[in-house]
Amino acid sequence: MRSSLLSRRDLDFLLYEWLEVDKLTTRARFAEHSRETFDDVLDLSEQLATKYFAPHNKRNDAQEPSFDGERVHIIAEVAQAHEALAKAGLIGATLDFEHGGAQLPTTLAQASAAWFSAANIGTAGYGFLTTGNANLLVAHADPAHVRKYVGPMLAGRYFGTMCLSEPQAGSSLGDITTRAQPQQDGTYRLFGTKMWISGGDHEMGENIVHLVLAKIPGGPAGTKGISLFIVPRYLVDEDGARGERNDVALAGINHKMGYRGTVNTLLNFGEGKFTPGGAAGAVGYLVGQEHHGLSYMFHMMNEARIGVGLGAAALGYTGYLKALDYARTRPQGHVKSRPGGGQVPIVEHTDVKRMLLAQKVYAEGALALVLYCARLVDEQRTTEDAEQQARLGLLLDLLTPIAKSWPSQWCLQANSLAIQVHGGYGYTREYDVEQHYRDNRLNPIHEGTHGIQGLDLLGRKVVQREGASLRELDARVRATVAAARAAGVEAATLAAQLDSSWHRLIEVTGALWAGGDPETALANSSVYLETFGHIVLAWIWLEQFLATGTGTDDFHDGKRHAARYFFRHELPKTGPGLELLASLDTTARDMRTDWF
């Protein structure tokens, strides 16, 4: 039976026909793998997602985590699902064999993760956070800390979190006030409050490893004085045995619109609740060097941002498949081409086809974009050419805000259309799609809001190293355009359209920065982000169009038709945004606060 979580056919297309992930097995890092092991990972992910994650997705929403003042209560299926994930070796999917990982390409790990997000993003969240935490430790922490924490995380015994935000600082991390007092023994004692901590407290597993941003007194002001600390919920002895409770106290949990399965907490560090003698602070261990914490955290954050895009894509995808199932089986209304034939399934109505096509281009496009980025990560990690490695890094820098924001915006829209296809049923909790929509609404907010992504793209990424990142993407877009021009009349027509939009975008980018005034350039950074994103997706769709090659079955025909839809219905939407940007519009900037 075809899954209503994701399309394995499409995944195979993206991974093998387009991204040629099997070629990675020629690299030393992935030499132990083969197309067979990759397929096994995909098979297993689908099976585990279907068996352990999907069945309690609704219950994890309806009976969301609760806090009785002492403990967090989470339905038992969550821990069971997490355990299944750990047993399958998927928490450390991309980590080195030596650290207990499966040393898989990131592309495969993301494809695997998509199954779990589609099935139950609330439960899957615990695994993703733990993976991100383990990856950061392996990259930046002291080997002794890696040995102590990473193994138990990969085994599913310890969970991981990331603790950045504070109530008074929000997106502005330079304003955090959590402080870390150095101790004689080289450890630190942390004092402060952290907000929006997913998985911040619960009774699953044996321990929770918090990665906490804090300031060491006397350090530089702003973001340059931020350090990163490991703060475990329970202290761990040298032999790995669980010791005393650390002074990290749960102050409350947030009640969200969706994504309810992942408990979201307010944590107090060092308030004295667990240190009977008074507020002696929460014990913390420095990661890497003092004051370099933000760069380490951004290692995790960039991974998290692509992960947000993947989660949004997966929710959009499963919503699309469920809407499609509904549309194929729900009889309603009549069409002229079947006179006297009675009711037809609603998939026959043109406006329903339009809503399904839109979902198809949003969901498949978003998934393709994220897997493309993951493929770049693998290339970057395994290339032996240092210059090429640097160039891949620049390209990834540029694409990360798109990979985070575009799926978050458009796969939410896909979920809205999935509801619309279901009519009133889609608005009820009896069907899945209303939850996907609520879950997906988080994605434009967390791990850097939509607005922050716009500032990052226009204010930092396109101008970094005098436009070097943009030149990397430019080279790739031009290569695709050239390939398409040689691939037949229709491909050439799409290529011309992309080429025109892309060049206009480059021109407009130059015009925005021509005056050298950041406030003018950034006045419409969100418009820039959205315009840029849609043009990038046109490129991704042209790439997919080309990858269909000479395939003439329904799958390939559908893929090509979806590309046509994107170029006719979606890409032209960027025209007004480009003109608005080119005009250096200051309407929003000129609005006086008293005029509201």
Q: Please list every residue from 314 through 373 that binds its own copies, using CB under 8 A.
A: 324, 328, 330-334, 336-337, 343, 347-357, 360
Residue-wise over 520-534: b if at least 16 C-beta within 10 A, else e?
Answer: bbbbbbbbbbbbbbb
Of 349 and 381, nearer to its own copies (C-beta) is 349
Number of residues in contact with its own copies under rule CB under 8 A: 94
Closest distance of CB 307 from its own copies, Å: 17
Q: Which of 47, 428, 500, 552 binds its own copies (CB under 8 A)?
A: 428
Under 8 Å between Cβ of 450 and 408: yes
Give residue for tokens 């199932």: 325
Which amino acid is present at 357?
L
Per CB under 8 A, 424 contacts its own copies: yes
Per CB under 8 A, 449 contacts its own copies: yes
Site for its own copies in 527-556 (CB under 8 A): 527, 554-555
Query: Radius of gyration over alpha carbons of the chain, in Å?
Result: 24
Q: Which of 446, 461, 504, 534 binds its own copies (CB under 8 A)?
A: 446
Per CB under 8 A, 564 contacts its own copies: yes
Site for its own copies in 501-530 (CB under 8 A): 518-519, 522-527
Of 106 and 524, nearer to its own copies (C-beta) is 524
Of 94 and 318, nearer to its own copies (C-beta) is 318
Helix, strand or coil for residue 163?
strand
Q: Which active-site residues does the annotation give?
A: 447
Measured distance CA(191)–CA(178) in Å, rounded: 6
Beta bridge partners of 211: 162, 230
Of 100 and 407, nearer to its own copies (C-beta) is 407
Per CB under 8 A, 416 contacts its own copies: yes
Per CB under 8 A, 557 contacts its own copies: yes
Under 8 Å between Cβ of 305 and 447: yes
Residue 279, burial from CB neighbour count under 10 angstroms (0-12, 13-18, 19+): middle
Residue 351, burial from CB neighbour count under 10 angstroms (0-12, 13-18, 19+): exposed
For 84, the enclosing helix (H) or strand (E) is helix 76-87
Give residue for tokens 């990661």: 287
Helix, strand or coil for residue 466?
helix
Residue count (the chain): 596
Per CB under 8 A, 455 contacts its own copies: yes
Question: Could you give the string, one character per residue 243-262, with x where binding to its own copies holds by CB under 8 A and - elsewhere?
Answer: -----------xxxxx----
Q: What is the DSSP letter of 211?
A: E
Taking CB under 8 A as the binding criterion, the range among 72-80, 226-234, 377-385, 559-567 that sits at the site for its own copies is 559-567
Per CB under 8 A, 224 contacts its own copies: no
Q: What is the DSSP letter of 239?
A: T
Under 8 Å between Cβ of 197 and 266: yes
Of 23 and 255, nearer to its own copies (C-beta) is 255
Site for its own copies in 170-209 (CB under 8 A): 170-172, 175, 195-196
Q: Which of 245, 450, 476, 503 binds its own copies (CB under 8 A)?
A: 450
Of 85 and 176, nearer to its own copies (C-beta) is 176
Closest distance of CB 185 from its own copies, Å: 36
Per CB under 8 A, 593 contacts its own copies: yes
